[in-house]
């Protein structure tokens, strides 16, 4: 039987399994004994592992951090890394986010986690099951790896990797097709200065550091002024409009507080690459860096700010922070803390990546190519790892938003691509 036909015949089973997983609100919660991220992520993990055990895969649950399922006794070659935790539902849903709903007219399967990452997890499970059921011979072993903390810092993987080795090839269906092989480095920088001004007594802008702020509110005496922008992910600031830099630009035309004037100078409105901070770097693969002043708030006589930076593949955290520190100090601020990760790159010409691209082309009929992004995926810290799916180019399943979905067609296509990749790499 052909793989495509197999998934077509098992589609109801796939939908039912996805429904079972979506029904678990596996949002990170208070840890308790044996439940490092709360009970619900562990519950979703155990449902998945029971299903894998039922197929005869060798299952291991590593203290409810990560679970694995291995098919084939041969030496492990491929790991498929998925996660079963989800972000909170948020507002705006047209139905219950935890009751999977199929909409025949749009082919959408709607529910929290359908595209990120429970749908792709179900697809990966059925891909391996298909290979087993159809007796397709494999020379090497395949490992499904299910994490439970991707949405809150991936402490699951960090814990797992202390005592477990990953297979030599790892992909995660937690990004997009064709293949993401390059991810910029990231820095989050928090800075502060003493602040007093006889005109402005408060500034409030930005709630999270990794988003372009859409509103900046300033208080002057009994009056409040609002500056409106448009929010966007901090790795793609050109898609939004920064309300803080908009305020600073307008402010600096008339007023004179030196701290605000200095900030306006190093963060000009509509500059996205940090050039005025002495940065503005780029590389051939990942393109221009990004630098976003994403938080600015007064509190107890201080002016506190936050900056989100995504830097090129050929730079390091230390280089970037050194330049920025000097610039901020000259402007009258000091850095209170920063955190971040170095860039991630896997060779696009490696046999592993080439295999994935070949499979993608064969199944979809589209041209395969590698992409570089500013955000970090689940494999950011895994040497040689790439993201492979599960979103197709120009399709948006409202990841993290209301009415998140995967189409049934894409769920099946995902399973087919993963199965073909397993055969290509381990067959
Ligand atoms: Zn995800």
How high is the pLDDT of residue 393?
94
Contact 86, 123 (CB under 8 A): no
392 CA from centroid of ligand 1 (Å): 15
22 CA from centroid of ligand 1 (Å): 14
183 CA from centroid of ligand 1 (Å): 15
Is residue 319 very low, low, confident or very high in pLDDT (cuts 50, 70, 90)? very high
* Residues within 5 Å of ion ligand 1, judged at the Cβ atom: 116-117, 174
Contact 340, 188 (CB under 8 A): yes
173 CA from centroid of ligand 1 (Å): 8
CA distance 265 to 285: 29
387 CA from centroid of ligand 1 (Å): 11
Phi, psi (5° rounding) for residue 86? Answer: -135, 165
3-183+345-426 and 186-341 in the same fold: no
Q: Which of 368, 313, 371 is nearest to 345 (CA)?
A: 313
Is residue 310 very low, low, confident or very high in pLDDT (cuts 50, 70, 90)? very high
How high is the pLDDT of residue 221?
86
Domain ranges (residues) in the chain: 3-183+345-426, 186-341
CATH fold group of domain 186-341:
Alpha-Beta Plaits (3.30.70)
pLDDT digits (tens, 9 = 90+) for 226-263: 999 999 889 999 999 999 999 999 999 998 899 999 99
Class of domain 3-183+345-426: alpha beta
pLDDT digits (tens, 9 = 90+) for 124-152: 999 999 999 999 999 999 999 999 999 99
pLDDT digits (tens, 9 = 90+) for 172-226: 999 999 999 999 999 999 999 999 998 999 999 998 899 999 999 999 988 999 9
In the predicted model, is pLDDT for residue 62 greater than 80?
A: yes
- Ranges 1-5, 159-163, 187-191: which has the least confidence: 1-5
SS (HEC) of the chain: CCHHHHHHHCHHHHHHHHHHHHCCCCECCCCECCEECEHHHHHHHHHHHHHHHHCCCEEEEECCCEEEEEECCCCEEEEEEEECCECCCCCCCCCCCCCCEEECCCCEEECCCCCCCHHHHHHHHHHHHHHHHCCCCCCCEEEEEEECCHHHCCHHHHHHHHHCCCCCEEEECCEECCEEEEECEEEEEEEEEECCCCCCCEEEECCCCCEECCEEEEEECCEEEEEECECEECCCHHHCECHHHHHHHHHHHHCCCHHHHHHHHHCCCCCCCCHHHCCCCEECCCEECEEEEEEEEEECCEEEEEEEEEECCCCCHHHHHHHHHHHHHHCCCEEEEEEEECCEECCCCCHHHHHHHHHHHHHHCCCCCEEEECCCCCCCCCCCCEECCEECCCCCCCCCCCCCEEEHHHHHHHHHHHHHHHHHHHC
Measure the CA angle with vertex 341, ends 336 and 347; round to 5°.
Answer: 160
How high is the pLDDT of residue 121?
98
Beta carbons within 10 angstroms of residue 89's beta carbon: 19
115 CA from centroid of ligand 1 (Å): 8
376 CA from centroid of ligand 1 (Å): 10
How high is the pLDDT of residue 399?
87
How high is the pLDDT of residue 150?
96
Is residue 302 very low, low, confident or very high in pLDDT (cuts 50, 70, 90)? very high
In the predicted model, is pLDDT for residue 106 greater than 70?
A: yes
In the predicted model, is pLDDT for residue 337 greater than 80?
A: yes
CA distance 270 to 290: 11
pLDDT digits (tens, 9 = 90+) for 386-397: 999 999 998 889
301 CA from centroid of ligand 1 (Å): 39
Q: What mean pLDDT is predicted for residues 300-314?
A: 96
Q: What mean pLDDT is predicted for residues 294-320?
A: 96
SS (HEC) of 145-168: EEECCHHHCCHHHHHHHHHCCCCC
Structure pTM? 0.89
Is residue 400 very low, low, confident or very high in pLDDT (cuts 50, 70, 90)? confident
Contacts with 225 (C-beta within 8 Å, 6 or more apart), sequence order: 217, 218, 219
CA distance 161 to 137: 29
Is residue 1 very low, low, confident or very high in pLDDT (cuts 50, 70, 90)? low
- Ranges 223-232, 313-322, 359-368, 394-403: which has the least confidence: 394-403
């Amino acid at each position: 039987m052909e793989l495509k036909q197999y998934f077509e015949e098992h589609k109801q089973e796939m939908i039912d399994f996805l429904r079972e997983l979506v029904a678990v609100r596996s949002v990170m919660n208070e840890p308790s004994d044996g439940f490092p991220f709360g009970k619900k992520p562990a519950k979703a993990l155990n449902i998945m592992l029971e299903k894998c055990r039922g197929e005869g895969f060798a299952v291991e649950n590593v203290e409810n951090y990560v679970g694995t399922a291995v098919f084939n006794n041969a030496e492990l070659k491929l790991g498929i890394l998925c996660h079963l935790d989800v972000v909170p539902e948020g507002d705006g849903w047209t139905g219950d986010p935890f009751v999977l709903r199929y909409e025949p007219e749009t082919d959408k399967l709607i529910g929290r986690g359908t595209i990120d990452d429970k749908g792709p997890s179900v697809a990966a499970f059925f891909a391996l099951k298909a290979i087993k059921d159809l007796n397709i011979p494999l020379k090497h072993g395949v490992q499904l790896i299910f994490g439970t903390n991707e949405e809150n810092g991936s402490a699951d993987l960090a814990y797992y990797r202390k005592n477990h080795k990953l297979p030599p090839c790892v992909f995660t269906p937690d990004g997009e097709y064709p293949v993401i092989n390059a991810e910029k480095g990231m820095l989050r920088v928090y800075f502060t200065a003493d602040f007093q001004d006889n005109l402005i007594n408060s500034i409030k802008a930005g709630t999270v550091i990794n988003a372009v702020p859409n509103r900046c509110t300033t208080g002057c005496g009994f009056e409040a002024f609002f500056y409106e922008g448009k929010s966007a992910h901090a790795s793609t600031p050109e898609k939004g409009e920064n309300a803080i830099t908009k305020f600073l630009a307008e402010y600096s035309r008339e007023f004179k507080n030196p701290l605000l004037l200095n900030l306006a100078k190093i963060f000009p409105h509509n500059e996205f690459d940090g050039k005025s901070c002495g940065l503005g770097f780029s590389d051939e693969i990942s393109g221009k860096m990004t630098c976003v002043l994403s938080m600015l708030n007064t509190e107890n006589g201080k002016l506190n700010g936050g900056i989100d930076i995504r830097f090129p593949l050929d730079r390091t955290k230390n280089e970037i922070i050194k330049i920025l520190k000097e610039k901020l100090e000259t402007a009258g601020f000091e850095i209170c803390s920063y955190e971040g990760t170095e860039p991630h790159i896997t060779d696009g010409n490696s046999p592993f990546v080439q295999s994935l691209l070949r499979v993608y082309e064969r199944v979809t009929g589209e041209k395969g190519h590698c992409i570089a992004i500013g955000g970090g995926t689940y494999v950011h810290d895994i040497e040689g790892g790439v993201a492979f799916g599960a979103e197709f180019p120009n399709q948006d399943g409202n990841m993290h938003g209301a009415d998140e979905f995967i189409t049934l067609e894409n769920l099946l296509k995902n399973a087919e691509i993963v199965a073909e990749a397993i055969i290509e790499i381990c067959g």
